[in-house]
Structure 1
């Protein structure tokens, strides 16, 4: 069974994330969405909220794609999380060249820790490349319309958080 791990904070999950999930789903039999517990980032949505949002957004996608998609919170090293879920590949989404430099360093460190786990980079569709959770939160906080960047359910969750 080919198992992939797509890690992130997903605070909140965006259409860009969903695009990468869709692309990754054709590469594996099981896709684990690793939800990072990153206390340093101070997420808007708590862990349970982020997990529930991802599960809701991915349930139909999993059926449509014929792949198992599971959500797995983690707070350890990414490479240890990959081993915990028996992932052979780590999926990373790239938006721009600036992302690549950081990701390149991460791949080197992960390979030094465990060279049996490969990293695969997927480019988001052009219409989703500018989407960043941080910017989506800021637009929503200031009363802007985020419907081009997130699903209706996530938009509603953002509106509720900032009301």
Structure 2
């Protein structure tokens, strides 16, 4: 069975992230979502909250796929984490040309460090291209409606985080 590693911060998971995850599940029998943990940053959602949200979002759209998903934390090199979890594919979502330029550089470096791990680029759906987790957090924090940008479970969690905002 082919295993793919899909890294990111997922703070919070967006519709774009979910789209890429679903595409990764079409390519691989098992997908390991790697949540990057950086001790110098304070995320909105804890690792456990993000992991649970990812599982809930997948369950909502593919209820029978839970066994094909693992969620892990990582803090080192992505390729090292991919190898550690038996992945031969590294999945990266692309929204636009700027993403492509950056991701091509990363793919080249990763290929040099881990020739056995192949980077696969997945194009975002047109409706998801402008979405970033940073913008979602900012809009939600200011009381804006992010329902078009995140799955229902994430929307509920964001409302819980910012319910005291006015």
TM superposition score normalised by structure 1: 0.93
Q: How many pairs does the alignment contain?
A: 163
SS at match of 2:35: strand
> Which residue number corresponds to residue 75 of structure 1?
75
**Distance in 2 separating the partners of 1:75 and 1:45:** 16
SS at match of 1:56: helix
Residue deviations 1:100-141 (CA, integer Å, cap 9, x gap) = 111111111111111111000000110111110000011101
Q: CA deviation at 1:59?
A: 2.9
Residues 9 and 38 in structure 1, CA contact (< 8 A), matched pair in contact too? no
Q: CA deviation at 1:27?
A: 0.5
Deviates more, 1:130-139 or 1:62-71: 62-71
Matches within 5 A, 1:48-127: 48-64=48-64, 68-127=68-127
Deviates more, 1:112-121 or 1:49-58: 49-58
> Which residue number corresponds to residue 153 of structure 1?
153
> Which residue number corresponds to residue 134 of structure 2?
134
Deviates more, 1:74-83 or 1:56-65: 56-65
SS at match of 1:115: coil
Q: CA deviation at 1:7?
A: 0.6
**Distance in 2 separating the partners of 1:92 and 1:14:** 14
Q: Which runs of 5+ in 2 are unaligned?
A: none
Residues 29 and 67 in structure 1, CA contact (< 8 A), matched pair in contact too? no
Q: CA deviation at 1:66?
A: 8.7
Residues 26 and 65 in structure 1, CA contact (< 8 A), matched pair in contact too? no
Residues 59 and 65 in structure 2, CA contact (< 8 A), matched pair in contact too? no
> Which residue number corresponds to residue 19 of structure 2?
19
**Distance in 1 separating the partners of 2:129 and 2:13:** 14
**Distance in 1 separating the partners of 2:116 and 2:100:** 21
Q: CA deviation at 1:60?
A: 4.5
